Amino acid sequence: MQTTTLSFSNLHNHGELFANLFRARKQSFIIQKNWDLPEAEDMEFDQYDTPQSRWIAVHDKGEVLAGFRLTPTTARCGIYSYMIRDAQKGILGGSIPQDLLDAEAPVDDQVWECSRVFVSHDIPQMYRRKVHFKMVEAMTGSARELGATRLIALTGASWPRWYGRCGLEAEAIGRVMWIDDANFQCVAINLAPKMH
């Protein structure tokens, strides 16, 4: 099992991996969760999949097991910035409540948004925890390499149960909200090295 950080400038080095990540996203979000999202050529994508983002794939022998997207909170593309901020500004048409954060969404070189997080539903339960740990390791490692000291994410409201187990230091930065099919909450993940 390996992890790869993909960007528009290194896609050519990784064969089908980028396309396979977007196919796995379609399977996870459109087919499994029945979310109404854009798709083409059997892939799920949205307005935040631009050269400003990075995509992390956890994969084994060509099969994508899990993945997520990192977008800088300084990103701009037309009217869009990043998902949490655009939801707060009402740009997303109400699919995510505007009052999702306790404060104004950050625009900071050192804060990145983590979104489109998924683990393939095909992974057997006994193997899932190992994939989760690999994903968390990749998320914190990749974000730090990009210069992030904090990540923000709109995540399942059950995050306190498993973030600690995975060694993540996080805090709620918004209320619990029902969106589509589950309770979600915005969290900030601290990536700054711990002082001893």
Digit-coded pLDDT (tens) for 133-172: 999 999 999 999 999 999 999 999 999 888 888 888 999 9
Burial code of 84-100, b = ≥16 C-beta within 10 A, e = fewer?
Answer: bbbbbeeebeeebbeeb
Rounded Cα gap, residues 7 and 54, in angstroms: 5
Contact, 5 vs 55, CB < 8 A? yes
- State the pLDDT confidence band at 99, using cuts at 50, 70 and 90: very high
pLDDT at 195: 52
pTM here is: 0.93
Question: Is pLDDT above 80 for 115?
Answer: yes
pLDDT digits (tens, 9 = 90+) for 15-44: 999 999 999 999 999 998 888 889 999 999
Name which of 10, 20, 15 is nearest 57 in CA terms: 20
